[in-house]
Chains A and B, each alone.
Chain A
Amino acid sequence: MSEPGSPRRQPRPLIVPFRRLAQANVAVVTGLSVVSALVLGAVLIVVTTPSVLHVLGHIGSHPGRALGLTGASVGDAYWAMFSGAIVSPSALGHVLSTGHGWVTLFTPLSETLVAATPLVLAGLGVAIGFSTGVFNIGAQGQLIAGALAALYVGFEVKLPIGIHAPLVVLAGAAGGAAAGFVPGILKARTGAHEVITTIMFNYVMLNLLDYLLSVSPFQQPGQSNAISRTMPATARLPHLFGSGLRVNAGLLVALALVAGATWFTRRSTLGFSFRVIGLNPNAGKTAGIDARRVTVLVLTLSGALAGLAGTASLAGTDFFLSSGYGGNIGFDAITVALLGRNRPTGVLFAGLLFAALDVGGRNMQAVTGIPLDLASVSQALIVMFVATPVLVREIFRLRGSAAASLQLSTGGWGG
């Protein structure tokens, strides 16, 4: 397929010293997409901050002051984002000078890993769907189903430490799988399009959660609010680096599944049949692959991963459920999968980046008062740029034909 937007003449690369880098490979395009998104985010900060707009109005008389204040407001925001998500220089200084405060130093990183865990898990599920031509928008509902199942096994079953938590994780996967199976079987049996059914199931699950949170056995006894019972200590995922840092075994589950998914898609027979159906359903059917069975399996598997996402945050950090549990994780998983180009390792890095933006955004809101939603705006912009490598190439005048192969595809409605 030719690229409709490809320029007729090869533009000269803007970054001449890095001629080899200027080839539009995946990493460069992704990096430049992040930069472009952050620049647009900076513009958004400037045009919505009255004090900055005010001084920019007088840029003719006080150019230095105007630019200084503009730079400071943007710089402060992004600095707060960085120090909230990766490492805070003041904490580093404290550790270097006193030798204490390691927990404070690693807290931002730990929080980013904690936030990344469910994003990666749910993102893997969505990605497996995408690469098979199944569009699962129901990660949110499946996440809730998984968390409910995990919570039930958590408080209802009495088991010793070491056995309980793995069982809870399995229950979470099973709950999510069940919630993914339903739209899968509906699609296979009746042809009901999964885009519709999975979206509708999100709302069904949100309401079901609201109901269960208000009745026994899920509701916290003695509470009139919609709050669930808490996970007993035996059912919680253990911390990895001591109780001061919230990063927990959920991260290991996510990493293991990234590795597992890589093996699955590349090496296993079932994964191969998934890919074939995703690339060309007709060829798959001709080769004797049961496309309906694949649809059911993919949605079930996708649901199981979303269920694990819910379990990881429930058993790892939150320990109870409340109304609207999971927030936007289900939808962010879609953008994470897209940014990760539906590949397991890609999803891992995309999840880490999105988590860093979210966690950093929280710090930015606390420090500078700029709303956290800037993070989600940036995330959307990043994916937009990544999905449009030709546009990035044009903006930065990159050379190279590799960009064409970066095009992502979900395969449309599929029929």
Chain B
Amino acid sequence: MSMTGVVAPDGLVVATAERVVPGGRVRGMGVFLVLLAIVAVLGFVSSVSSRAHATFLLSAPPAVSVSPLTMSVRWTAGALAMLCAALGVLLVLRREQRGAYLIFGVGFATFLWAFLVWAARGAQLNFVQMLVTTLISTTPLVFGSLSGVMCERSGVINIAIEGQFLAGAFLGAMIGSVTGDLWLGMLAGAVAGGLFGWLLAFLALRYAVDQIIVGVVIVAFCTGLTNFLTEQVLTPDQTTLNSPQTFAPIAIPLLDKIPILGPVLFDENVFVYLAAILLVVVNFGLFRTRWGLRVRAVGEHPRAAETVGIHVLSVRYRNVVLGGVIAGIGGASFTIGSVGEFSSEMTAGLGYVALAAMIFGRWKPFGALGASLLFGFSVSLQSFLAVLNVGIPSPFLAMAPYVITIAVVSGLVGRVRPPAADGAPYSRE
């Protein structure tokens, strides 16, 4: 049940618990970086005049002011392209998997930076604001993917995250609006999500219904129900029932003064902090506590777990309900965390994106965070590029996050290995 590859004496990777990075894939990643570098040279270096400059604004209100960073597009993009190419060549020559992802990540970041410099030529880009938008877009995905991690580590596929998002967003907005108490709204969101987590557990565990089917049905049900209730109940009395306040940002003293990072990380609303805390708690719980060991045992080999006295179904029940609660809170962040009202299908498929982030993150909380950040960044990038008017039609910018996810999932992740008992119903003989 080891979570990392174990290298046998003869050098073969024996346990394939999380991933296998064949040498070919590492080389492929290297070649990809070199190609990106060529794109950067052709697109961002040779096409612009030598006098073009880009300015990144690095200051935001609470932090200590930092002077804007002005760069020559040609020189900066050129240097970054060289760095990107060098990292690519390094990958091709090394062909070793250790650290390959890190090198690739740095290389890809240099390409993105070069792209941003080119996109912001002759203009100003508020870099801090861009990171803030990234974090805001990332937060619901963190809740969603943590929900997925909780369920799937115990062996239950939760494809219903989208439905739990919608339920949490709806009830969070309604209760927050009626009572005027946002904490009650958040609680209501958690309860709504937990309820549909329970329904998933009830049908999947008690009646052994296929978990993907239950998940799909719950999403369809929640979508229909929230649409129905929005039109039938909320719309006639919008001001009482669907006008909650939103959680205000809480600045953490001193830390919010840190340049760049301060306004991004330490001046956010309660959902962002909660997501961060949950991330650490779930990660610690799963991999460092007795509870986590049991959960993972149940997800990998329920029969063995049962043999040593773990009650498989109650572990799964608890985890799936908790997962639902987490997704419900994430749902509430859509309404009382940002826009302040519920609208039909406002989660726009992000529950599925969270699911993708969880798989991309290999069923690990911090892996899922990385994937969520990537998606959040591409959402942010898209909105800023639309403002910068780079000449790319807006539908292509809008599809960028999804294309990037596809590219990443197929190019980087490759075959992933879910918990061994994921999706399999369990019954005591």
Contacts and interface: CB of A to CB of B under 8 A. Distances in A.
Interface stretch (A241-249, A277-285, A382-390): A382-390
Interface stretch (A63-71, A117-125, A200-208, A260-268): A200-208
Contacts of A193: 359, 409, 416
A191 B416 contact: yes
B213 A408 contact: yes
Contacts of A201: 402, 406
Given A412-B212, A412-B423, A380 B221 contact: yes
A158 B409 CA distance: 42
- Which of B159, B402, B422 is packed against the most chain A CB atoms within 10 Å? B402
B208 interface: yes
B190 interface: no
Interface stretch (A8-16, A90-98, A217-225, A366-374): A366-374
A211 interface: yes
B406 A200 contact: yes
Interface in B207-237: 207-214, 216-218, 220-221, 223-225, 227-229, 231-233
Contact of A196 (B359, B422, B423): B359
Interface in B378-399: 393, 395-396, 398-399
A373 B222 CA distance: 11
Instruction: Classify chain B: how many residues form its interface, as a range.
Output: 35 or more
B411 interface: yes
Interface in A1-49: 1-5, 44, 48-49
Interface stretch (B130-138, B274-282, B349-357): B349-357
B418 A415 contact: yes
Contact of B356 (A196, A335, A407): A196
B90 to A, nearest CB: 23
B224 A379 contact: yes
A409 interface: yes
A257 interface: no
Nearest to B235: A371
B250 interface: no
Nearest to A196: B356
A234 interface: no
A192 B413 contact: yes
A159 B203 CA distance: 54
Given A1-B427, A200-B402, A387 B209 contact: yes
A interface, over-half SS? helix
Interface string A63-82: 00000000000000000000
A338 B213 contact: yes
Contact of B208 (A199, A331, A407, A411): A407
Contacts of A200: 356, 402-403, 405-406, 409
Contact of A410 (B213, B218, B232, B403): B213
A142 B346 CA distance: 23
B414 interface: yes
B205 interface: yes
B311 interface: no
A345 to B, nearest CB: 19
Contact of A135 (B212, B393, B403): B212
A388 B429 contact: no
B228 A373 contact: yes
B210 A409 contact: yes
A210 to B, nearest CB: 4
A143 interface: no
A197 B409 contact: yes
Contacts of A207: 395-396, 398-399, 402
A349 B277 CA distance: 49
A201 B352 CA distance: 12
B211 A412 contact: yes
Nearest to A187: B410
A48 B232 contact: yes
Contacts of A3: 207-208, 427
A391 interface: yes
A186 interface: yes
Contacts of B395: 207-208, 210-211, 214
B355 A195 contact: yes
B interface, over-half SS? helix
A236 to B, nearest CB: 28
B157 interface: yes
Given A1-B425, A211-B395, A413-B423, A192 B209 contact: no
Interface string A221-237: 00000000000000000
Contacts of B417: 415
Interface in A319-359: 331-332, 334-335, 338
B402 A190 contact: no
Given A44-B228, A211-B393, A373-B227, A190 B405 contact: no
A161 interface: no
Nearest to B212: A410
A383 B423 contact: no
B227 A371 contact: yes
B94 interface: no
A253 interface: no
B410 A186 contact: yes
B406 A192 contact: yes
A413 B425 contact: no
Contacts of B393: 211, 214
Nearest to A50: B236
A379 B429 CA distance: 34
A391 B207 contact: yes
A387 B210 contact: yes
B416 to A, nearest CB: 7
A195 to B, nearest CB: 7
- Which of A49, A381, A413 is packed against the most chain B CB atoms within 10 Å? A413
Contacts of A190: 410-411, 414-415
Interface in B286-325: 313
B376 to A, nearest CB: 15
B355 A377 contact: no
A216 interface: no
- Which of A370, A371, A408 is packed against the most chain B CB atoms within 10 Å? A371
Nearest to A384: B217
A401 interface: no
Interface string A398-411: 00000000011111
A204 B399 contact: yes
A377 B208 contact: no
6 A-B pairs with least C-beta separation: A412-B423, A191-B415, A376-B224, A192-B410, A380-B221, A211-B395
Interface of A: 1-5, 44, 48-49, 135, 137, 186, 189-193, 195-197, 199-204, 207-208, 210-211, 214, 331-332, 334-335, 338, 370-371, 373-377, 379-381, 383-384, 387-388, 390-391, 407-413, 415
16 contacts: A5-B208, A191-B414, A195-B355, A195-B359, A196-B355, A197-B410, A200-B405, A203-B402, A204-B399, A214-B395, A335-B216, A376-B224, A377-B221, A408-B210, A412-B212, A415-B417
Interface of B: 157, 159, 203, 205-214, 216-218, 220-221, 223-225, 227-229, 231-233, 313, 349, 352-353, 355-356, 359-360, 393, 395-396, 398-399, 402-403, 405-406, 409-411, 413-418, 422-425, 427, 429
Given A195-B356, A383-B213, 10 more contacts: A4-B208, A5-B208, A186-B410, A193-B416, A196-B409, A376-B223, A376-B228, A380-B221, A384-B221, A412-B212
